Structure 1
């Protein structure tokens, strides 16, 4: 095949290659174009549906958060009757995850405030055993449940239940450690209890009220923990 004037072999080869690629692309599109378009449309629809669902979830969570805040405001102003509990139960039923857990924790706290200890324990236990809840919410429920059940549980039960949390590196060390040390006292293990109370009094991340109690009890058990307690405590 003769070359056009001014055309080199490289130019000719490049043009042939481009035409071949164009032809292959056209044939490919003829064979699979409809499927590609359908897949693209499906992807766009799925993306739009997911974004819509996310927005609905955010809007729903915001609305539930406002409802929960309103209920907490009712409780803070002394309204703790059946209507408030029903609102909390509705939030717990309609919500998922942490919001549901917090609503049920509040139901338990409200029951305790109204003198229904058994109902409070049941509410806290349900949250503590709910695998769908964040661990922080489950642990908070477990602490409340154990504190309420303390007199009915054997010392070894309390110690075993709280063992993962009664360590200085746990954010629950104050509460779990105090309950564990009290269980040790109940079991007659005074030396161990005194040492644990001493560690609680010396833990800087533990609330001051718990540290002050721990310091006092540690002292009564012959453990001097004053070195770790800030002045004024």
Structure 2
């Protein structure tokens, strides 16, 4: 799982820029004084302020290096913990994987924390704890500090985990903003909304949505195939280009039956 880079702003940036600007002005004035052969006056007038500006600039730069190195260390630690947790999950060690996520969830940066919580919720689903998983997903979805992509994914997963206990109308209302063409989550969210339409008995809406997903350029081939089948069952043609579909599915072109 790729983690987004940290977006924490450097608190010393503004001060460093101000110090740099001040230093630049002072250097320009010193240069003017030198050109006018006023060495002694320049040294007396600008020596201490210039030294202070340089020292402040060096201090700010040192603080920036420390902060950047600290952030890099945090990101590396978060990544290592996430990779370790995923390795444990892949081996079937769900409890160990869950334990490995604890430090990231408690102290990780917003992106790493959200990723860790999504994985933790996935572990809960594997452990047949849908209610616990849904609670975690909802927490990520409501986290303003988390990357929007993670929040949207958490919203979809929360609805999926609670689908059997939700009214179709509530499912549609929750996911409709994501189930629109152009949205990165159009396919996954739209499929769930389409199933909710079917549960309402609204086959026309479901068929049209499934067909739109199948025709969307950003839909994965696997989802395209599934959506074409669903749309076809509902009497909606979801195929614009037969040759493209044949290439995607690997189906051979049927032989010609024309008489010789």
TM-score normalised to the size of structure 1? 0.83
2:78 corresponds to 1:44: no
Tell me by how many angstroms 1:89 deviates.
1.7
Aligned-partner Cα distance in 2 for 1:133–1:35? 44
Structure 1: gaps spanning 5 or more residues: 1-16
User: Given the alignment, which residue of 94, 99, 102 partners 1:80?
Assistant: 94
Question: Which has the bigger relative contact order, CA under 8 A and spacing at least 6?
Answer: 2
Tell me by how many angstroms 1:204 deviates.
3.5
Structure 2: gaps spanning 5 or more residues: 1-31, 251-260
2:236 corresponds to 1:223: yes
Query: Partner residue of 1:3?
Result: none
- 1:190-217, Cα deviation, whole Å (9 max, x unpaired): 2111111111122232123322332222
Tell me by how many angstroms 1:157 deviates.
2.5
Q: Secondary structure at the match of 2:94?
A: coil
Tell me by how many angstroms 1:20 deviates.
8.9
Query: Partner residue of 1:31?
Result: 45
Call closer, same or farther: CA 1:49–1:20 in 2, change over 3 Å: closer
Q: Secondary structure at the match of 2:106?
A: helix
Call closer, same or farther: CA 1:189–1:19 in 2, change over 3 Å: closer
TM-score normalised to the size of structure 2? 0.75
- Please tell me whether the aligned partners of residues 85 and 101 of structure 2 are also in contact (alpha carbons under 8 angstroms): yes
Please report the RMSD computed on the Cα atoms of aligned residues, expressed in angstroms. Answer: 2.3
* Rg comparison, structure with higher value: 1
Query: Partner residue of 1:144?
Result: 157
Deviates more, 1:90-99 or 1:213-222: 213-222
Number of aligned residues: 215
